[in-house]
Chains A and B, each alone.
Chain A
Amino acid sequence: MMTFERGCKALIAATVTALTFGSSAYADGHKIMDSIHFLIPGGAGGGWDGTARGTGEALTGAGLVGTATYENMSGGGGGKAIGYLIENAESNEGTLMVNSTPIVIRSLTGVFPQSFRDLTLVAGTIGDYAAIVVGKDSAINNMGDLVAAYDADPAATAIGGGSVPGGMDHLVAAMAMEAAGRDALAVKYIPYDAGGNAMAALLSGEIAALSTGLSEAIDLANAGEVKIIGVTADERVPAAADAMTMKEQGIDMSFVNWRGFFGAPGLDADQVTAYQEAIAAMYDTPEWEAVRARNGWVNIHNSGEDFRTFLENQEQVLGDLMTKLGFL
């Protein structure tokens, strides 16, 4: 049985490689891959969703990849998709999973047994700052107001987010409150499973503020639904020039949520190289620049081993931070 399985795996790998090379032989011009299937560990409209679809749009638009397909698989803060990719590694040679800082956080807290080390590291592609937003009709206009509201009635000033407690949205909210001199653990954090539900809660007044990714916050602000009261960048982001940074408001903190792509464990080396080439070539295309600018992302390209170093470094920094905040 073992030999059969191994043989099977080798056969599949060989077939995939053959297909990849075969197709690139008669592909027009600079097409590197025929197709990519993006596995998105969260719901539609979320940060992961935007990253995968934006990358897919740029890759296909620039002609680097023939077609891109997307699959949303939310659950367990991304744990479901990671588990799925590891369990079904053999049938997912053509799949790229988008992930970001939470994969580091969640393996630090030991919530799920896997870490980025169990996957094939393809490349880190972008960063997205975090932001705190309030409803458009809220009396709160900046971080100072939010902290004042919290001081007046801590129980009624809950901050919501799309991640589980101890997850990234929670961490950002806690970091901001900690930097403002408040006890981060006393801040009420309410988790929601989907961005739409968290927005509904913000607009109904259930939560006072929402901790979310900046690109999502910009979309919501452009739709006239929210006000961005604090951005975790060091300097103002051009895509949201009116939004003040945390630092401007005397809250000394910054945070970048990287996003990147992972393959199934044991992914064929040629396949990995093809993915990395496609992604590296993408940065120079106008299609990518359009997507990037629209979303206010920051290019942070780390391929292969660089990506591993980057992740290990972040694991260290975040681990220290979470210990300080009392999450570990």
Chain B
Amino acid sequence: MLEGLLIGLQTAMSFQNLAMVIAGCLIGTFIGMLPGLGPMSIIAIMIPVAISMGDPSAALILLAGVYYGAIFGGSTSSILLNAPGVAGTVASSFDGYPMAKKGKAGKALTIAAISSFAGGTIGAILLMIFAPMLSSVALLFHSAEYFALMVVGLSAIAAFAGTGQVAKAIIMTLFGLILATVGEGTLFSLPRFTGGIMDLQSGLGFITLAMAMFALPEALFLVLKPKETGSSGGEIKDLRITRSEARAIAPVIGRQSIQGFFIGVLPGAGATIASFLGYAVERNLATKEEQAEFGKGSIKGLAAPETANNAACTGSFVPLLTLGIPGSGTTAILLGALIALNVSPGPRLMIDEPQIFWAVIMSMFIGNLVLLVLNLPLIPYIAKVLSIPRNFLIPFILFFTLMGAYIGQNNATELLILVGFGICATALKFADYPLPPLLIGFILGGMLEDNFARSMQLYDGIAFIWERPMTLGLLAISLILLVLPSYRARRARYHADGVASGD
């Protein structure tokens, strides 16, 4: 591990990679702050840039920087405008915005910055400990276990979809799986569902699909549904926090770093769920008079989601780097970018390309430091970005999306596919269908099929499901994950009908 740390430090400290961390964090902060563009959109837009660099370490460092930078920056607009730039920072507005309205915007931003820094840093330490452990277990996995793991990942999407979204999430996942079958299968290398179109021979392009799902609809959304920018919560002054305040939020930060990290590790759950759960848990733990403060500008209520979302964001790198399985839409995009750079994340990553693995972790420490510096003294100036009309984003998104799709393939057909899927995605977005499950389904679909077919061949049938206990266990978990939401929904219905709940 020490050797790995040194390799990582050496790679991460190279001039190019340091520049990547700083650039990623800056871009992430700015974009995360702007309501309307989430980390997923900006990472989708940045993929062609990252891929054209050709160096997987640098690309992953850049994209990871954008990711946690966006989560970091998203809190600024949550606090100042009550308009979260990122879903993961919605919970930050519960107490952050009331604080800002009371004229304590500076203090709120400081607490957010410190909590985010602590959450990200502690998360990175936990990642450093748990990823190698999980990775060494994963080395024992056969194709059958990989198949089962992917089934778990897919069913987790349903389990963690919001209320009333379960059916929609499942539909979108299935749609993603269907899209993954287009093109030549790895195992039988015969074209399927290409409709005789040569451009579909190798399947739908991941970059094209990612941009069609997450970048283009944002631009169309801005055109079709312009939203008023919220009024500013007040002037930013007095960034200092008192010693007693620091003492109050310290245990919150400690707890939420760990809780947030493990929620992030779970497939399907990410920064958003971690922040809401963190908020709820801290409110339950707080004393009576502190509880009354929640929602009216409690510092604990701000520190909890801010810590949790950054820790979860780091935690979501665990399944990505050790198993090669994306747990969230954002990590699905990162996985796609890595595959495009011909790095296959998984348990072999740490053995085959330790410099990538460790450099990314090291860059997280550097990135969090950069973000702290960026956010503490500079935040009053950076927040000026918020007064830019969001319409200015439209040409920016369109330019990068269309150029990116074209540069990746040098193929004009990609543009048609991009626009076609982009319009479909926008329609789905209006109908309130979640888009990340589609991309996760698409990414996992190919791997799911390969591993399933391999297991079938090895066991001459589906005997591997019951002959391998680990596979059976994982499939049982995925069944529970699928049943759980409908059970919960039914219990909620009974509850509403006046039937007392068991617990």
Question: Which residues in A have some Cβ–Cβ distance to B below 8 Å?
Answer: 43-45, 49, 69-70, 72, 74-77, 79-80, 83-84, 87-88, 91, 106, 111, 155, 158, 164-165, 188, 190-194, 196-197, 199-201, 203-206
Select one of A80, A190, A197, A203 contacting B201, CB under 8 A. Answer: A80
A191–B187 contact, CB under 8 A?
yes
16-68 of chain B: CB within 8 A of chain A: 54
A-B contact pairs, 27 of them (CB 8 A): A44-B343, A45-B342, A72-B341, A72-B342, A75-B202, A76-B184, A76-B189, A79-B189, A79-B201, A80-B184, A80-B201, A83-B202, A84-B411, A155-B460, A164-B186, A165-B188, A188-B457, A191-B454, A192-B454, A196-B346, A196-B349, A199-B348, A200-B346, A200-B348, A204-B139, A204-B140, A205-B142
431-460 of chain B: CB within 8 A of chain A: 450, 454, 457-458, 460
A44–B201 contact, CB under 8 A?
no
Known pairs A164-B188, A197-B344; A158 contacts B410 (CB<8 A) = no
Select one of B142, B201, B450, B460 contacting A76, CB under 8 A. Answer: B201
Residues of A within 8 A of B352 (CB): 45, 196, 199
**Assuming A191-B186, A200-B348, what are 20 further A-B pairs, CB within 8 angstroms?**
A45-B342, A75-B184, A75-B202, A76-B189, A80-B201, A84-B411, A88-B410, A155-B460, A164-B188, A165-B187, A190-B143, A193-B450, A196-B344, A196-B348, A196-B349, A196-B352, A200-B346, A201-B143, A203-B139, A204-B140
Residues of A within 8 A of B187 (CB): 164-165, 191
Residues of B within 8 A of A106 (CB): 189
B2 within 8 A of A: no
Residues of A within 8 A of B454 (CB): 190-192, 206
Cα(A190)–Cα(B411), bound, Å: 33
B460–A204 contact, CB under 8 A?
no
B348–A76 contact, CB under 8 A?
no
Q: Please, which residue of chain B has its CB at the minimum distance from the CB of A188?
A: B457
Closest Cβ–Cβ distance, residue B60 to chain A (whole Å): 14
Select one of A70, A80, A158 contacting B54, CB under 8 A. Answer: A70
Cα(A199)–Cα(B139), bound, Å: 10
Closest Cβ–Cβ distance, residue B325 to chain A (whole Å): 13
Cα(A172)–Cα(B159), bound, Å: 46
B198 within 8 A of A: yes
Closest Cβ–Cβ distance, residue A153 to chain B (whole Å): 12
Cα(A93)–Cα(B387), bound, Å: 48
Cα(A84)–Cα(B198), bound, Å: 10
Residues of B within 8 A of A164 (CB): 186-189
Known pairs A72-B342, A155-B460; A83 contacts B201 (CB<8 A) = yes
349-399 of chain B: CB within 8 A of chain A: 349, 352
Closest Cβ–Cβ distance, residue B138 to chain A (whole Å): 9
Residues of A within 8 A of B409 (CB): 84
Residues of A within 8 A of B348 (CB): 196-197, 199-200
Cα(A84)–Cα(B408), bound, Å: 12
Closest Cβ–Cβ distance, residue A118 to chain B (whole Å): 13
B141 within 8 A of A: yes
Closest Cβ–Cβ distance, residue B198 to chain A (whole Å): 7
A75–B143 contact, CB under 8 A?
no
Residues of B within 8 A of A45 (CB): 342, 352
Cα(A70)–Cα(B51), bound, Å: 12
B201–A200 contact, CB under 8 A?
no
Residue of A45, A91, A155, A191 ringed by the most chain B CB atoms within 10 A: A191
Residues of B within 8 A of A196 (CB): 344, 346, 348-349, 352
B500 within 8 A of A: no
B186–A200 contact, CB under 8 A?
no
Residues of B within 8 A of A197 (CB): 344, 346, 348
Select one of B140, B199, B203 contacting A75, CB under 8 A. Answer: B203
A43–B186 contact, CB under 8 A?
no
Residues of B within 8 A of A190 (CB): 143, 454, 457-458
B346–A80 contact, CB under 8 A?
no
Cα(A164)–Cα(B460), bound, Å: 18
A200–B188 contact, CB under 8 A?
no
Q: Please, which residue of chain A has its CB at the minimum distance from the CB of B199?
A: A87
Residues of B within 8 A of A84 (CB): 409, 411
Closest Cβ–Cβ distance, residue B351 to chain A (whole Å): 8
Residues of B within 8 A of A199 (CB): 348, 352
Residues of A within 8 A of B203 (CB): 75
B457–A200 contact, CB under 8 A?
no
Cα(A206)–Cα(B54), bound, Å: 32
Residues of B within 8 A of A76 (CB): 183-184, 189, 201-202
Cα(A158)–Cα(B455), bound, Å: 11
Q: Please, which residue of chain B has its CB at the minimum distance from the CB of A106?
A: B189
Closest Cβ–Cβ distance, residue B243 to chain A (whole Å): 51
Residues of A within 8 A of B422 (CB): none
B315 within 8 A of A: no
B347 within 8 A of A: yes
Closest Cβ–Cβ distance, residue B54 to chain A (whole Å): 7
Known pairs A87-B411, A111-B189; A74 contacts B139 (CB<8 A) = no
Mask of B178-196 contacts with A, CB within 8 angstroms, 1/0: 0000011011111000000
Cα(A44)–Cα(B411), bound, Å: 23
Residue of B199, B342, B346 ringed by the most chain A CB atoms within 10 A: B342
Known pairs A200-B139, A203-B139; A88 contacts B458 (CB<8 A) = no
Q: Please, which residue of chain A has its CB at the minimum distance from the CB of B145?
A: A204
Q: Please, which residue of chain B has its CB at the minimum distance from the CB of A90?
A: B410
The 7 A-B pairs at the shortest CB distance, nearest first, are namely A44-B342, A80-B202, A76-B184, A72-B342, A206-B142, A43-B342, A196-B348
Cα(A76)–Cα(B190), bound, Å: 8
Residues of A within 8 A of B411 (CB): 84, 87-88
Cα(A205)–Cα(B140), bound, Å: 8
Cα(A45)–Cα(B458), bound, Å: 26
